[in-house]
Amino acid sequence: MNKPLKQHLIDPEICIRCYTCEMTCPVEAITHDDSNVVIDAAKCDFCLDCIPVCPTGSIDEWRFVAKPYSLDDQFGWAELPAQGEIVAAGGDDAEGGDDLQAAMEALLAEAHKGAGGKAKAPATAAKPSVNLYNLGKPAVAKVQGNFRLTSDESGSDVRHIILDFGSQHFPVLEGQSIGIIPPGTDANGKPHLPRLYSVSSPRDGERRNYNNLSLTVKREDKGVCSNYVCDLKLGDEVQVTGPFGATFLMPDDPSARLLMICTGTGSAPFRGFTMRRQRAAAGTSGDMVMFFGARTPDSLPYFGPLNKVPERLLKKHLVFSRIPGVDKEYVQDRMMVEQEAIADMLADPRTHIYICGLKGMEQGVEHAFKNIAESTGMPWEATRDVMRDEGRYHVETY
C-alpha cells in the first residue's frame, strides 16, 4: 500500500476569502484563483501558522490521501470531498482502511485541539449561498447611502454603507460577509485583493424587500479598502465578491435564545440578527441578549437606534472602556456582573452563543464563561464543545 499523505485543505464552503492565511503562510504554500483559496501540498510544511489567524476555522481541514489533490483540483471545488472518497480516488489499498481510519481520527483530534473544534451552522439555519461572485466575475453594486455612525469627537469614523444590487441575484443571510475589491493595485502592481465585511442588514434587505444590504465599516489608518469604502459617494459603483460564510448564521427556530457578545464593528451581524427577529417574529421570539463594548457612547455604532430597540426583544448591555472619570469596563466584566442570567442561558439547550469583534476579547470572554459555568457545576470546555458540535457556539474574531 502507498504510504498515505496527510494533506492540509481549506473548506471552500466556509472560507470567507479574507486571504489572511495566504498572507501569513511563511512558505507561500497558500494561493488563490478567482474562486478559491487553496494549499499546495508540495509546499505546506505543517507549521500551522495559518490555523489561529483564520476567522472561520475553514483552514482546519485535513485528509489522508494516496495522492495529494492538485491546486487545479482544489480550485474547482464548491465543497470538500469526503475523506472516504479521497482514499478511494487515490487508488489506495482497501485493506489499509482501518489503519487509515485510526490514523485519521488521531490526526483530526490533534488538529482540532488548538482551534477547539469545527464550527457548524445552527441546525435550523437556512441554507446560505456562497461564492456566487468572485474576483473574475464580481457583482457590481451601487452605493445607496453612506452615513457616519460615530461623532467627530469620538476619534473613530465608523460608517453605515448601503449597497444596492439592482437586478443581480445577491442573496445573503444574517451573519454572512461580502468582499469589496478596492480599485487600483498594490505595491507590487497587482490588483488589490477583496477585503471582507460582515453584512449588517437582514436577509430581506436593508430596506425590507429591496435588493440591498448594509455594511458597518470603520476607517482604519492607511487602510486601503476601509478608506475607499468610507469615502464612497451616492451612486458610486463597487465591485463585490461573495457572499461568504456558512456557519456564523442565526437559527430560524423562533424559540432559540441568542447570546451575542461583540466589540465595535463586530456588532454588524447582530444588527442583522436583531432586525430579522424584529421583522419576522415580533413578540414571539426567544430572548436575545447582547453585550456590546465600545470606548464611549459616541463611538458605539448604532448607539441611538439600538437604544430604541425594546428590552423585551433585545436585552442590551452596552459597556464602555474610556469614559472620563469612570472605571473602564469590558464585555467580559459585565458578563461576570450578569452571571446568573448567563448561567441560565448556558444550561438551556435552546441557547446559541455568538462572539464577534476584536481577537483580544476572545480570551477574556472564554474566561468569563468558564467562571460562570463552573460556579454552577458545569464543566465549561465540555459544555462549549457540545454547543459547538450542535451549531450553537460561534466565534468570528479578527
Residues that bind ligand A2P (CB under 6 A): 156, 263-264, 293-295, 321-322, 330-332, 358, 360-361, 364
The phi, psi pair for 283, rounded to 5°, reads 85, -15
262 - beta bridge partners?
292, 356
CB closer to ligand A2P out of 214 and 265: 265
CB closer to ligand A2P out of 131 and 263: 263
CB of 67 to ligand A2P, least distance (A): 45
CB closer to ligand A2P out of 122 and 264: 264
The sheet carrying 158-164 orders its strands as 195-198, 177-181, 237-244, 139-148, 158-164, 212-218
CB closer to ligand A2P out of 141 and 149: 149
CB closer to ligand A2P out of 124 and 397: 397
Q: Cell 441557547 identifies what position? A: 351
CB of 332 to ligand A2P, least distance (A): 6
Secondary structure letter of residue 392 according to DSSP: -
CB of 264 to ligand A2P, least distance (A): 3
CB of 218 to ligand A2P, least distance (A): 7
DSSP 172-237: --TT-EEEEE-SSB-TTSPBPPPEEEEB-S-TTTTTTTSSEEEEEEEPPTT-HHHHHHHT--TT-E
CA dihedral 181, 185, 188, 189 (to 10 degrees): 130
CB of 242 to ligand A2P, least distance (A): 23
CB closer to ligand A2P out of 95 and 327: 327
Among candidates 25, 46, 191, 164, which has minimal Cα distance to 110?
46
CB of 288 to ligand A2P, least distance (A): 20
CA pair distance 22, 38, nearest whole angstrom: 9
CB closer to ligand A2P out of 98 and 327: 327
Q: Are 228 and 183 in contact (CB under 8 A)?
A: yes
Q: Which helix (H) or strand (E) holds 355?
A: strand 351-357
148 - beta bridge partners?
159
CB of 346 to ligand A2P, least distance (A): 20
Q: Are 351 and 390 in contact (CB under 8 A)?
A: no
Buried b (16+ CB within 10 A) or exposed e, 261-274: bbbbbbbbbbbbbb
Taking the CA of residue 318 as centre, how many other CA atoms within 13 Å lie in the half-sphere pointing to its CB? 20
CB closer to ligand A2P out of 61 and 396: 396
CB of 223 to ligand A2P, least distance (A): 13
